[in-house]
Amino acid sequence: MKRQLLAACALACATVAPAYAWEPTKPIEIVVPFGPGGASDQMARTLQGLIQKHNLSPQPVVVINKPAAAGGEAMMDIQKSVRDPHKLLTTSSGIYMTPLSTRMPINWRDFTPVAMLAQDEFLIWVKGDAPYKTVQDFLAEAKTAQPPLKIGGAGSKREDDLITFALGAEAGTKITYIPYKSGGETSTQLAGGHIAASTGNPSEEVGSFKGGTAKPLCVLSEKRMRYTTKVASDMSWSDVPTCGEQGVKFTYNMLRGIFMPGRVTPDQQAFYVDLFKKAVETPEWKEYLERSALLPDFRSGKPFEEFLAADEAKHKELMAKAGFLATN
């Protein structure tokens, strides 16, 4: 019996494959297409910290910010880094919107998709003392306001701009969009009464929400947010109604994903897919999701690529209607 056990162990040990067919041999760069402190940067640095804490990689992770050209600099860097398995790109829907609005010769298919880690939610925010109780109250005033009401957001021809256009189009009214450099600046302008509303993510307005200087009218997702911990005025994120509940058909979420340069090997791609599968199971990642009120949504392989193709088509259609597509 003992000999049989030893023989079985020897056979099992002989057939066990190495942990990975490929592993990084130098520090891994996560390139962030925005400046320090923003939501994309926070995600990258959260990943950096938990990967190190839980020894998920044999090599350290370095975060590099390349915010120029609305993220175009970062995308160009990854596009030029063909076959380099030591570079990653963290990105959002800018991976479609920047090329479509600038005719920059880049497409997400130039890269190697690794995984979608989450989706970011968008809310309609107004000042804490604003008279609006629902988004329909806001849109009703927008229909008669002279001059038109102003909605602020981060950047031009990006997510916030697109949301503002879609809301105005659905309501059949003109809403003026005011672009700012960041979500933080937008929040300050809303608190000061310089704009009537904003379309920020939870992480961009949570401080104002807690302080009572801003309040959410609704969230643009198909379902309410999942987080039940009270955030402000005895209100949780899950207490915020969807805009659909208030009669708005338009919905919008933004991907948060990881890409590699093109033409890497399947083994190199598989290493990172497995790394991020482990990363999203850590307590630190789950705390980050709740802190930022992100929608957990891990996808890799074909499901991720199918999502990207459908999401790109949706953005292209919306941007065409809004007049955001670059012309020759």
The answer to pTM > 0.85 is: yes
Note the pLDDT of residue 9: 47
Q: What are phi and psi of 16, to 5 degrees?
A: -70, 125
Distance separating alpha carbons of residues 65 and 31, to the nearest angstrom: 6
Tokens of 239: 């207490």
DSSP strand pairing (150-154 vs 197-198): parallel
**147-178, pLDDT tens digit by residue?**
999 999 988 999 999 999 999 999 999 999 99
H or E segment and range at residue 176? strand 176-180
Q: What is the pLDDT of residue 10?
A: 43
Place of tokens 């993510």: 201
Question: Do the domains 27-120+254-322 and 123-251 sit in the same CATH topology, yes or no?
Answer: yes
Q: Which pLDDT score is estimated for 282?
A: 98
What are the beta bridge partners of residue 123? 219
Give the residue-averaged pLDDT of 43-61: 97
pLDDT reading at 83 higher than 70: yes
Amino acid at 185: E
pLDDT at 5 over 70: no
Mean pLDDT of the chain: 92
The SS3 assignment for 19 reads: coil
Question: Is residue 127 helix, strand or coil?
Answer: strand
On the question of pLDDT at 7 being above 60, the answer is: no
Question: With bands split at pLDDT 50, 70 and 90, how would you rate the model's confidence at 206?
Answer: very high
Cis amide linkage into residue 179, ω under 30° from 0: no
Residue 327 has pLDDT above 90, yes or no: no
CATH architecture of the domain with range 123-251: 3-Layer(aba) Sandwich (3.40)
Q: What is the mean pLDDT of residues 250-267?
A: 97
Place 307 in a pLDDT band, splitting at 50, 70 and 90. very high
pLDDT number for residue 19: 65
Cα separation, 90 vs 189, in Å, equals 28
Confidence (pLDDT) at 2: 45
Q: Is the pLDDT of residue 8 over 80?
A: no
| pLDDT higher at 153 or 17 | 153
Average pLDDT on 244-273 reads 98
Query: What is the rounded distance in angstroms from the CA atom of residue 48 to the CA atom of residue 298?
Result: 18
In this prediction, residues 272-297 reach a mean pLDDT of 97
Q: What is the band of 35 on the pLDDT scale with cuts at 50, 70, 90?
A: confident
pLDDT at 291: 93
CA dihedral 245, 182, 162, 315 (to 10 degrees): -100
Q: Is pLDDT above 60 for 11? A: no
Fold of 27-120+254-322: D-Maltodextrin-Binding Protein; domain 2 (3.40.190)
Q: How confident is the model at residue 182 (pLDDT cuts 50, 70, 90)?
A: confident
- pLDDT the model gives residue 1: 47
- For residue 18, pLDDT over 70 is answered with no
Locate the domains of the chain by residue range: 27-120+254-322, 123-251
By three-state DSSP, how is residue 190 classified? helix
pLDDT band at 103 (very low <50, low <70, confident <90, very high): confident
Residue range 124-144, pLDDT digits in tens: 999 999 999 999 999 999 999
